[in-house]
Amino acid sequence: MSDLLPFGLGAWIFFGCYLASLLLLGLLGRKARKEDSMQDFYLAGRGFSFIVLFLTLYATQYSGNTVFGVAGATYRLGFSWLISVHYMMAIIVFYQTFAFKLHALAIKRNFVTPVDFIWDRFQSRGLATLASIVMIIALSNYLLAQLMTMGRAMQGLAGPAGDIAYNYGVIGLATIMVVYGTLGGIRAIAWTDVIQGAVLFLGFILLMFLMIEEFGSISLATDMISNSKNSNKLMSPDSLMLREWLSYILLVGMGGALYPQAIQRIYSARSTNTLKRSFAAMAFMPFISVLISIIVGIYALAYIPGLEGADSDQAFASILRIIQESSLVGYGLVVIIFSAVLAALMSTADSAMLSISSMFTKDIYSPHIKPRAKESELTLLGKRCSWVVVAMLSILAIVLKEQTSLISLLDRKFDLLIQIAPAFMLGIHFSQLKAGPVFLGLISGLIISLLLAFGEFSFVVDGKLWGFHPGFYGLIVNTLIAVLGSLWSSNSVKKRLPGETHISTID
């Protein structure tokens, strides 16, 4: 593989040592385990400090879709993709609606998976199972996007040998990821996140200075775009684009806050104060990571024309390649950034992989197939599940490499995830919310979202209706059914049983 990428022997030695260090952290995480339980393997015993929690949230949230997907979307759409800064900020806002109360409940009730809250709150196995299936499907989509990003990172740097490098990237990096993830669990992933998050943070800042030195100011790049056939990508947003902006803010804000792996990190915080401090620090990250990824996309649009369709997701890697060839400093920085980005991709993907395996074993296998399974048996099954999931999605990532953009995968994932919002964001505060209406609302929201997303309708343009994503319409119907149905049910009970009051399952 040494002839595929324009790196020298020293860079490959650095890559090898860096990837080997991830495997070493996996072994150290395995040795650091206190017990062979799901709580220790998936939550690290709820002992994350501020630094570890902040950097693991950062490295997990800002990964493939941020670095490559945002740059690629900016390349396709232009400055209008500044909306991505806003929707990443919205995630932090929506966290505030439920995270702190959920953390306190998780400690008190020993939650391990996100669905543990839904089961505890509504006592409905049907609702809990359906929510688990939705989250597993959405996370599988997310994991597929990360695997494709690994391949495209290699593809963008490989030049003419890009197709071969893509396949090597997916298979090789996925294998390393699943090895250290299943060895050390969330503890090993969090430790790697500390390194990756710090390197990414500094790398983005240095990258900005090197881009200005290599290409000139952002205004110069903008002038070049304005004098090209892509000048329409500099236009101010029209009313349709503004509606799309609002849709993305709501879609990604709610969906990102409901990532199962993010919810499990909420469970893992040492204290509520630690969680609050981590979210406060996270509020500043969109202005560094996302904004710089947008600027990368603008520079690529100006200086690397001709990337079409899914190939536009190579914009970030292509800019790195130019900087790498410009100077020794640029070469060194690209080696470091590329290593950190790949490792962050693996860590983000592994977090999704662990969440999938935890929900399959604890929320599906244990209650429906083997209710009396031991903790150690479930943990082992979860590790095996991880291998199977990664193998299947790696094959799919190779098959779909020319057919799907990262942003289209992001849209479908969030269309599904936000249908869980009423159960979490309302269920934790609204004591009258009942299992039956929430279950019916979830089914209705999913059906509407999927029909609008995949149906052939003339009024749906670019996967959106009047500028809003299908999941937005599904969520409206979902929420109305859940709330109005619960209120009607409560009123009916009061009429039949005067004098009785509703008892909430939430303390």
128 alpha-carbon distance from chain centroid: 22
Q: What is the SS3 assignment for 506?
A: coil
Phi, psi of 464 (to 5 degrees): -130, 150
Contact present, 385 and 361 (Cβ < 8 Å)? yes
Provide the token pair at 287.
């202005």
Q: Is the pLDDT of residue 116 over 90?
A: yes
**Distance of alpha carbon 206 from alpha carbon 385, whole angstroms:** 39
pLDDT tens digit string along 243-253? 888 998 998 89
Residue range 257-284, pLDDT digits in tens: 999 988 999 999 989 999 999 999 998 8
For residue 289, what pLDDT band results from cuts at 50, 70 and 90?
confident
Beta-bridge partners for 47: none
Helices (H) and strands (E) in the chain, counts: 23, 0
How does pLDDT run across 331-375, given as a tens digit for each residue?
Answer: 888 887 777 777 667 777 888 888 899 899 999 998 899 888 887
- For the record, the structure tokens of 272 come out as 């509520």
* C-alpha dist (Å) from residue 438 to 190, 318, 415: 34, 46, 17
Residue 239: both structure tokens together: 């009313």
Q: What is the pLDDT of residues 390-406, one digit of tens each?
A: 899 889 888 877 655 55
Q: What is the pLDDT of residue 494?
A: 64
CB 405 within 8 A of CB 310: yes
Contact 304, 319 (CB under 8 A): yes
Q: pLDDT-based confidence at 505, cuts 50/70/90?
A: very low
Structure tokens at 419: 């249908």
Can you give the pLDDT at residue 39?
78
220-233 pLDDT, tens digit each: 999 999 888 888 88
Query: Taking a C-beta distance cutoff of 8 angstroms, is the pair 72, 83 a contact?
Result: no
Written as one letter, the residue type at 322 is: I
pLDDT digits (tens, 9 = 90+) for 402-422: 655 555 666 778 899 999 999
Q: Which structure tokens are listed for 465?
A: 């209706």
Q: Is the pLDDT of residue 435 over 80?
A: yes
Contacts of 332 (CB under 8 A, 6+ apart): none
If one counts every other C-beta atom within 10 angstroms of the C-beta of residue 281, the result is 17
What's the gap between Cα 438 and its chain centre?
25
pLDDT at site 221: 92
pLDDT at 3: 41
Q: Which token pair is 391?
A: 């193998």
Least confident among 125-134, 404-413, 429-438, 447-456: 404-413
Does pLDDT of 502 surpass 60?
no
In degrees rounded to 5, what are phi and psi of residue 322?
A: -65, -45
Residue 160 CB neighbour total at 10 angstroms: 8
Residue 507 confidence (pLDDT): 38
Phi (first) and psi of residue 505, to 5 degrees: -85, -5
Average pLDDT for 147-166: 70
Integer-rounded Cα Rg, in Å, for the chain is: 23
pLDDT in the model for residue 124: 94
Kindly report, residue by residue over 198-219, the tens digit of the pLDDT.
777 787 888 888 899 889 999 9
pTM for the whole thing?
0.83
Can you read off the two tokens belonging to residue 427?
A: 């269920």
Residue 173, both tokens: 């990096």
Tell me which range, 25-39, 118-132, 276-290, 408-422, is most confidently predicted by mean pLDDT: 118-132
Please check whether residue 90 is in contact with residue 286, taking contact to mean a CB–CB distance below 8 angstroms. no
Q: Looking at residue 159, what is its pLDDT?
A: 55
The CATH label, of 1.10.260.40, 3.40.50.300, 1.20.1730.10, 1.10.3720.10, for the domain at 9-408 is: 1.20.1730.10
The domain limits of the chain are 9-408
| Phi, then psi, of 37 in degrees rounded to 5 | -130, 165
pLDDT at 117: 95
Residue 35 DSSP label: S
Average pLDDT across the chain, whole number: 83
162 confidence band (pLDDT: 50, 70, 90)? low
